[in-house]
Chains A and B, each alone.
Chain A
Amino acid sequence: DTGVSQNPRHKITKRGQNVTFRCDPISEHNRLYWYRQTLGQGPEFLTYFQNEAQLEKSRLLSDRFSAERPKGSFSTLEIQRTEQGDSAMYLCASSFTSSNQPQHFGDGTRLSIL
């Protein structure tokens, strides 16, 4: 079990630029989740995939955000035209399908918007 891997760990960019994050889940897991965590808060759900299908999206996921999981393995989260309010830690998690299975988290990507 190599764990959930996220890249990059840190991303600093100017307002208005596009950024893309990558998540490699635990290989046996067919569910993959994205969360956003702002300073001093708990993680907030953004979206999740069952294999390659994106099954649910939060209202937090504006049209500037897009997530993909093209082959049901790794996933990417892209933010277009970044804004100051996008500064946060973006966490990826994976799990087996059953809802009572715990989610395993990566170490996150910290995004800072200048």
Chain B
Amino acid sequence: AQSVTQLDSQVPVFEEAPVELRCNYSSSVSVYLFWYVQYPNQGLQLLLKYLSGSTLVKGINGFEAEFNKSQTSFHLRKPSVHISDTAEYFCAVHAGNMLTFGGGTRLMVKP
């Protein structure tokens, strides 16, 4: 079985500041890792994915994430956030035939 822990339920940050959203996972098998973003009353939109290869992956909207196998982490970063980045962010692992999601982190960007 696999599990995903997002260590921060809420992250407040000022506009144009950098941000890191933390994600740790556990799994007994190799996994694929994903970050999704969810805006109010909408479904989930894929931000980025790690399948193999380079541990630093770049996604949409200026986000990037780094896979660290030894620490079983997949933290999401953005060097400068915008008001429009305010949303819920979900880390997920794909193993077997399903996605297992973390509890989500609400990013709140303040002007």
Instruction: Give me the interface of A with B, judged by CB distance under 8 Å.
Output: 4, 6, 33, 35, 40-45, 48, 55-56, 91, 93, 99-100, 102-108, 110
Contacts and interface: CB of A to CB of B under 8 A. Distances in A.
A54 to B, nearest CB: 11
Contacts of A43: 44, 90, 99, 101
Interface in B30-49: 32, 34, 36, 41-46, 49
Nearest to A50: B97
Chain B interface residue number, banded: 20 to 34
A55 B103 contact: no
Given A33-B98, A42-B90, A56-B98, A100 B32 contact: yes
B51 interface: yes
Contacts of B49: 100, 102
B43 A48 contact: no
